[in-house]
Amino acid sequence: MKKILLLLFTAILIGCNTAVPAPEVVNTNGEPEGPHTSVEWKIWAYSTAAPSFIAANCSVVDVDGTVLREGTNGWTAMAANPRGMADPENGWKDPHEAMPMVGDGPAMQWAMAYMGGKTPEMDTDGWAWMLHGDMGEDNRKHLVIDEEGVAKAKADGEWIESGAHLMLLPKDPASLEGQTTNFNTGAPYVMFKGTGYDHLMIPVEGYYDYQEPKL
């Protein structure tokens, strides 16, 4: 009996001193390991443009219209950078370059009209999250992406590279009348005023991560 107990005690000691493999390192922000061209990475990058309680169950659509994940909550995530990828072979550099937005039904109607150069027509206002921000906009005019236009916007003090924000996309742009277009105060402001694509930008924590406000 003593011999059996001794052998058991020895086995326990050996077990306690056996090296246990370290757990796989996981990015603290939940970013999947692997290439940025993978479905898993795109779903993470696009959906996390919204708070987790929306991101968890939203639909995710790729730039070519492929549905990467079917959702259940009426929200849709997609990349919204009109410039496209700087390196298509390796995918988006990071979520900020992808400029993903997560919008409700009316917001997606607004976005489709915007990208098609048509006047948005919705039954109600739309809401869209962009917690990864965007690569920069001329606050006065949409789709300014050429070097000359960007340089002029910067010279005029009208260029803003946004961090995290929420957008109100109105059914009627006139409803935003009286709101400021000043993006330097941290308060909500109107982007693209008078273009038909007027919308309210609502900065949240991290909005000025890419560009300091000029106070």
pLDDT digits (tens, 9 = 90+) for 174-194: 999 999 999 999 999 999 999
Domain count, the chain: 1
Question: What's the rounded Cα separation, in Å, for the pair 98 and 183?
Answer: 22
**Is the CA virtual torsion 82, 84, 48, 189 positive or negative?**
negative
- 152 within some domain: yes
Question: What's the rounded Cα separation, in Å, for the pair 203 and 215?
Answer: 16
Overall average pLDDT of the 71-78 stretch: 97
Total-model pTM: 0.84
- 63 within some domain: yes
At residue 16, the pLDDT reads 38
Taking all residues of the chain, what is their mean pLDDT, rounded to a whole number? 87
- 132 within some domain: yes
- 3 within some domain: no
- 168 within some domain: yes
pLDDT > 60? residue 26 = no
- 184 within some domain: yes
The band of 27, judged by pLDDT with boundaries at 50, 70 and 90, is low
The band of 12, judged by pLDDT with boundaries at 50, 70 and 90, is very low
**Is the CA virtual torsion 138, 205, 100, 72 positive or negative?**
negative
The band of 28, judged by pLDDT with boundaries at 50, 70 and 90, is low
CA angle (83, 88, 164) in 5-degree steps: 50
CA angle (131, 137, 138) in 5-degree steps: 150
Range of the domain at 142: 38-203
